[in-house]
Amino acid sequence: MMDDLWFSEYHTKNVRFSIRVNRQLHDEQSEYQHISVYESPDFGRFLTLDGALMLTQRDEFIYHEMIVHVPMAVNPGVRDVLVIGAGDGGVARELAKYAGIQSIDVVEIDAHVVDVCKAYLPDTASGFADKRVALHFEDGMRFVRHAQSQYDLIIVDSTDPSGPGEVLFTSEFYGSCLSALRDHGILVNQHESPFYPEDAKAMRGAHRRILSAFPLSRVYQAHIPTYPSGHWLFGFASKGLHPVRDLQAREWKALGIQTRYYNTNLHRGAFALPNYVEEQLKLDE
Amino acid sequence: MQQDQAPLYEALEAVRNARLVPLDVPGHKRGRGNKALTEFLGEQCLSVDVNSMKPLDNLCHPISVIKEAESLAAEAFGAAAAFFMVGGTTSAVQAMLLSTLKAGEKVILPRNVHQSVINSLVLCGAIPVYVSPQTDKRLGIALGMAVADIKDAIAENPSAKAILINNPTYYGVCSDVAQITKLAHAHGMRVLVDEAHGTHFYFGKAMPVTAMAAGADMAAVSLHKSGGSLTQSSMLLCGGNINADYVRQVINLTQTTSASYLLLASLDISRRNLAMNGIEIFEKVKRFAQYARDEINQIGDYYAFSSELINGDSVFDFDVTKLSVNTLDIGLAGIEVYDILRDQYDIQAEFGDLGNFLAYLSVGDKNKHIERLISALCDIRRRYKRERSGLMETEYLKPEVVTTPQKAFYAAKRSVRLESCAGGICGEFVMSYPPGIPILAPGERVTPALIEYIRYARQKGCMLTGPESMDVSRLNILEEGSYDG
* Residue B484 resides in a domain: no
Claim to verify: residue B351 and residue B414 sit in the same structural domain: no
* Residue B396 resides in a domain: no
Claim to verify: residue A87 and residue A124 sit in the same structural domain: yes
Domain hosting B474: range is 405-478
Could you tell me if A123 lies within 8 Å of chain B, comparing CB atoms? no
Give the CATH number of the domain where residue A203 resides: 3.40.50.150
Claim to verify: residue B344 and residue B433 sit in the same structural domain: no
pLDDT of B390: 57
Claim to verify: residue A126 and residue A224 sit in the same structural domain: yes
Of the candidates B433, B422, B418, the residue with the CA atom closest to the CA atom of residue B466: B433
In degrees, rounded to 5, the angle at the alpha carbon of residue B351 between the alpha carbons of residues B346 and B356 is: 105
Claim to verify: residue A221 and residue A88 sit in the same structural domain: yes
* Residue B139 resides in a domain: yes
Give the CATH number of the domain where residue B444 resides: 3.90.100.10
Claim to verify: residue A47 and residue A140 sit in the same structural domain: no
A139 carries an active-site annotation: no
Residue A190: half-sphere exposure toward Cβ, Cα within 13 Å: 23
Claim to verify: residue B293 and residue B211 sit in the same structural domain: no
Residues facing A234 on adjacent strands = A190, A220
Q: Per-residue pLDDT tens for A118-168? A: 999 999 999 999 999 999 999 999 999 999 999 999 999 998 888 778 889
* Residue B77 resides in a domain: yes
Interface test with B, best of A84, A170, A174, A209 (most B CBs within 10 A): A170
Which residues from B are below 8 Å from A141, CB to CB? 368, 371-372, 375
Q: Per-residue pLDDT tens for B173-184? A: 999 999 999 999
pLDDT of B364: 86
The interface pTM score, or ipTM, of the predicted complex is 0.84
pLDDT of B439: 87
pLDDT of B183: 97
pLDDT over 80 at B433, yes or no: no
Claim to verify: residue A50 and residue A188 sit in the same structural domain: no
Query: Binning pLDDT at 50, 70 and 90, where does residue B437 land?
Result: low
* Residue B399 resides in a domain: no
Give the CATH number of the domain where residue A43 resides: 2.30.140.10
- How far does the CA of residue B335 sit from the closest CA of chain A (Å)? 19
Strand B135-136 and strand B141-142: the pairing is: antiparallel
Contact A232, A248 (CB under 8 A): no
* Residue B419 resides in a domain: yes
Claim to verify: residue A101 and residue A223 sit in the same structural domain: yes
pLDDT of B458: 82
pLDDT over 80 at B28, yes or no: yes
Claim to verify: residue A52 and residue A66 sit in the same structural domain: no
pLDDT over 80 at B482, yes or no: no
DSSP state, residue B232: T
Nearest chain A residue to B381 by CA distance is: A175
The pTM for the full model equals 0.87
Flag if B375 and A212 touch (Cβ within 8 Å). Answer: no
Of B295, B368, B375, the CB nearest to A166: B368
Domain stops at, among B241, B275, B309: B275
Residues facing B129 on adjacent strands = B108
Q: Per-residue pLDDT tens for B39-50? A: 999 999 999 999
Claim to verify: residue A38 and residue A164 sit in the same structural domain: no
Contact B233, B86 (CB under 8 A): yes
pLDDT of B136: 84
Report the alpha-carbon distance of residue B342 to residue B246 in Å, rounded: 46
**What is the mean pLDDT of each successive set of 10 residues along chain A, which is 285 residues long?**
89 96 96 95 96 95 98 98 94 97 96 96 94 95 94 94 86 95 97 93 93 95 96 96 97 97 98 96 82
pLDDT of B480: 84
Claim to verify: residue B121 and residue B231 sit in the same structural domain: yes
Give B328's contacts (C-beta < 8 A, 6+ positions apart): B140, B355, B388, B391
Flag if B371 and A175 touch (Cβ within 8 Å). Answer: no
Claim to verify: residue B90 and residue B235 sit in the same structural domain: yes
Flag if B372 and A167 touch (Cβ within 8 Å). Answer: yes
Flag if A176 and B371 touch (Cβ within 8 Å). Answer: no
Interface test with B, best of A145, A159, A168 (most B CBs within 10 A): A145
pLDDT of B481: 79
Q: Quote the mean pLDDT of chain B.
A: 93
Flag if B367 and A173 touch (Cβ within 8 Å). Answer: no
pLDDT of A161: 85
Of B367, B368, B375, the CB nearest to A145: B375
Residue B221: half-sphere exposure toward Cβ, Cα within 13 Å: 32
Of the candidates B330, B462, B461, the residue with the CA atom closest to the CA atom of residue B384: B330
Flag if A145 and B372 touch (Cβ within 8 Å). Answer: no
Claim to verify: residue A241 and residue A172 sit in the same structural domain: yes
Claim to verify: residue B306 and residue B451 sit in the same structural domain: no
Claim to verify: residue B270 and residue B189 sit in the same structural domain: yes
Give me the number of domains chain B comprises. 3
Could you tell me if A223 lies within 8 Å of chain B, comparing CB atoms? no
Flag if B346 and A170 touch (Cβ within 8 Å). Answer: yes
Catalytic residue among A157, A183, A199, A284: A157
Claim to verify: residue A144 and residue A227 sit in the same structural domain: yes
Residue A118: half-sphere exposure toward Cβ, Cα within 13 Å: 7
Give the CATH number of the domain where residue B378 resides: 3.90.1150.10
Percent of chain B with pLDDT over 70: 96
Q: Nearest 10 degrees: CA dihedral of B401, B406, B407, B411?
A: 110
Q: What is the DSSP string of A232-255?
A: EEEEEEESS--TTTT--HHHHHHT
* Residue A1 resides in a domain: no
Claim to verify: residue B258 and residue B318 sit in the same structural domain: no
Determine if the peptide bond prior to B467 is cis (ω within 30°): no
Domain stops at, among B355, B384, B413: B384
* Residue B184 resides in a domain: yes
Report the alpha-carbon distance of residue B229 to residue B264 in Å, rounded: 9
Percent of chain B with pLDDT over 90: 81
Which residues from A are below 8 Å from B349, CB to CB? none
* Residue B452 resides in a domain: yes
Of A167, A175, A212, the CB nearest to B371: A167
pLDDT of B485: 54
Domain stops at, among B223, B241, B275: B275
Could you tell me if A142 lies within 8 Å of chain B, comparing CB atoms? yes
Query: Binning pLDDT at 50, 70 and 90, where does residue B112 land?
Result: confident
Flag if B374 and A145 touch (Cβ within 8 Å). Answer: yes
Claim to verify: residue A52 and residue A168 sit in the same structural domain: no
Contact B111, B131 (CB under 8 A): yes
pLDDT of B8: 97
Claim to verify: residue B126 and residue B18 sit in the same structural domain: yes
Claim to verify: residue B418 and residue B303 sit in the same structural domain: no
Contact A199, A10 (CB under 8 A): no
Give me the number of domains chain A comprises. 2
Interface test with A, best of B369, B378, B382 (most A CBs within 10 A): B378
Nearest chain A residue to B377 by CA distance is: A172
pLDDT of B436: 55
pLDDT over 80 at B434, yes or no: no
Claim to verify: residue B267 and residue B320 sit in the same structural domain: no
How far, CA to CA in Å, does B276 sit from each of A209, A266, B5, B71, B296? 43, 62, 10, 16, 32
pLDDT of B395: 61
Report the alpha-carbon distance of residue A220 to residue A235 in Å, rounded: 6
Domain hosting A41: range is 6-56
Flag if B371 and A212 touch (Cβ within 8 Å). Answer: no
Report the alpha-carbon distance of residue B391 to residue B473 in Å, rounded: 23
Claim to verify: residue B285 and residue B271 sit in the same structural domain: no
Claim to verify: residue A30 and residue A151 sit in the same structural domain: no
